[in-house]
Amino acid sequence: MRLEVTEQQIEAFDCDGFLVLEGALSPGEVEVWRRETEDAVARRLQAGGRHNQYEQSDPFYREVFTQALHLTRRHPGLRGLVYDPALAELAGRLVGADGMRLWHDQALFKEPYGNQTSFHRDTPYWSMTTRRTVNFWFALDDATVENGCLWYLPGTHKLGDFTHVEIGTGMSDLMKIYPQWRAIRAVPTPVSAGGLVIHNGMVAHGAGANMTPGRRRAMTIAYFPDGEVYNGRRDTLPEKYYDALQVGDRLEDDRYVPLLWSRQKVTSTAMPVE
């Protein structure tokens, strides 16, 4: 894995809210992680658990992508990527944190002629309120403007509040809350297979429809800084964990939100719990 990042790139990430690292994975690594991700997604769709391909799930959203979450819980083969401390350390450097925990991993496969991913922000979906979450998006295929690469509204991670706007059918739904963002020019981030697109969880982003007969597969890892507290919003962690939490409690149970990198503490070896 090639993760060198210059001070200039860190500054650009802070300013824009996103960063592209071409060639983060070697061709051999892409092959390995594509195979592991494919395998994990196929099993998830068969065995059940968190994914969006249920008959009763929203018909538009089901066709935005095949989304399968928390794959490392049942598919240890993916932990070599998702639990890699070098990745979590880079996430920590980008937002100036001394430790990073895993929020979730998820595969996002935009299938041929899949719908667009409307503009949204990630953190308002989640159970902590901070402008320092980080999402790593590994391209497992070349991601192009034609097949649905990511697009960003630069600088929006520093704007607005934590109002939650779901990924819906309208590309500009988010701009009903923030009309002034319509004036911002969106930036596409085409990237070759093996490239890594990193964003701050508060930056507004989306992806175009997949206008090709090929798939646009990605594997993603979402991190949050160690020390963040529960904000009362239930997202995708197991209900029994949420039942045990009070608003304001630190999100620090390694069985659910493992510490993947820390400057001071010993990182987690806890087995994940569903």
For ligand AKG, the binding residues in 67-96 under the rule CB under 6 A are: none
Is residue 207 a contact residue for ligand AKG (CB under 6 A)?
A: yes
User: Which segments of the chain does DSSP mark as H helices, in order?
Assistant: 7-16, 27-47, 59-62, 79-82, 85-95, 174-177, 239-244
Is residue 220 a contact residue for ligand AKG (CB under 6 A)?
A: yes
Paired with 68 in beta bridges are: 51, 107
For the chain, the 3-state helix, strand and coil shares in percent, each to the nearest 5, are 30, 25, 50
Nearer to ligand AKG among residue 73 and residue 199 (C-beta): 199
Is residue 130 a contact residue for ligand AKG (CB under 6 A)?
A: no
Nearer to ligand AKG among residue 99 and residue 148 (C-beta): 148
Is residue 37 a contact residue for ligand AKG (CB under 6 A)?
A: no
Is residue 205 a contact residue for ligand AKG (CB under 6 A)?
A: yes
Per the listing, tokens 């704007």 go with 159
Nearer to ligand AKG among residue 99 and residue 206 (C-beta): 206
Rounded to the nearest whole angstrom, what is the least distance from the CB of residue 137 to ligand AKG in the complex?
5
CA distance 190 to 150: 7
Looking at 63, 122, 226, 252, which residue binds ligand AKG (CB under 6 A)? 122
Q: Residue 149 is which amino acid? A: C
CA distance 82 to 33: 10
Residues within the interface to ligand AKG (CB under 6 A): 65, 108, 110, 117, 122, 135, 137, 148, 205, 207, 218, 220
